[in-house]
Amino acid sequence: MKKYFIKNGNIKFYVYIILFIFPIFSALIAISIGRMSISIFDILKLFKNHIMNIKLDPMLESVIINIRLPRIITALIVGAGLTCAGITFQSLFSNPLATPDILGVTSASSLGAIIAILLSLNTMGIQTLALLTGLLSIFITLRIVKSVGSSIIMLVLSGIIVSSFANAISSLLKYTADPTDKLPQITYWLMGSFSRASYANLLLAGPLIILSVIFIYKMRWRLNILSLSEDEAKSLGINVKNTRLLFIFASTIITASSISLCGQIGWIGLIIPHICRLIVGANNVYTVPIGISFGAAFMVLIESLSRTISVIELPISILTAIIGAPIFIALLRRTGGQFR
């Protein structure tokens, strides 16, 4: 399959076009489906009228522009970001099972959101506190590493410590929360949802994710070098410590920002990188751009299913697990567990 994507060491031009169109086409399909079905022609016409400042159908404007579009944009950004973070961590730790929450960012961001909910903060407050605690967690993790010894193993162990501590505090807060008011809010938030998606919420976390994805995309060739031994990487002129920290910081921003937008989301950062490696191999020069496209499109699929598959909106984490687990089993059977 790789020969259809790669030629002379570069991704073919038409593949880039397909990778660009694929998420956009998925987004158009997602916008068209829901309680109220809308044809793609009507959607494109509305966008054209919106750009040309022509009066819009109030009902279509409300459904497409104000309700569905913020959700779709959030799904595109989060899906692309979490896939990038997953590819980065799997390369940095040379571990195909590494996920964006390996350093405890997910648990810490969730703790921040729980605290914000208990304080009765609004959506923006929840998002801000979740983002700040996620970034704080990586600072604490790195401080622990610095005090005990700088190595990949110590980094992972420090992440486990921070994650366990954050989970313990979260459990304590949930145990003491009002079971008729705050606890249901906390539980629903932790399961993940795009119901809070809005243009205002995107203004805070969206640019952070996009900039981090761009950084990883531009520096993806260095991920290949960092997957080598430290001595080999140094011999190629790479400052291993600083480069690794930059990738960790970018991936942490992506993970914390994604959680602040829509709660906990599993599997995306695990299965999409494996699918990309199955297609084009382990070279991150190829897997990152393909992962950005596939991850964005897959998250749009999840968003569509969450609001259409049932009378009530299903949490994201439930759908990603239901869909992701069988896909991962199929990947295991296809590769025999050899992902590299």
Which pLDDT tens digit goes with each residue over 238-284? Answer: 888 889 889 999 999 999 999 989 988 889 999 999 999 988 888 99
Instruction: For residue 112, give every residue at least 6 positions away whose Cβ sits within 8 Å of its Cβ, in sequence order, or none.
Output: 129, 130, 131, 132, 133, 134, 260
Question: 161: domain CATH number?
Answer: 1.10.3470.10
What is the pLDDT, as a whole number, of residue 340? 55
What is the pLDDT, as a whole number, of residue 50? 83
What is the pLDDT, as a whole number, of residue 291? 96
Angle between helices 284-308 and 13-32 (to 10 degrees): 10
In a domain, 73, yes or no: yes
Enclosing domain of residue 204: 17-28+37-181+196-335
In a domain, 243, yes or no: yes
In a domain, 21, yes or no: yes
In a domain, 237, yes or no: yes
In a domain, 241, yes or no: yes
What is the pLDDT, as a whole number, of residue 150? 67
What is the pLDDT, as a whole number, of residue 189? 86
In a domain, 12, yes or no: no
Split into its structural domains, the chain has a count of 1
In a domain, 307, yes or no: yes
Report, as ranges of residue numbers, the positions in the chain whose pLDDT lies below 70.
1, 149-150, 336-340
pTM of the model: 0.93
In a domain, 175, yes or no: yes
What is the pLDDT, as a whole number, of residue 72? 96
What is the pLDDT, as a whole number, of residue 55? 83
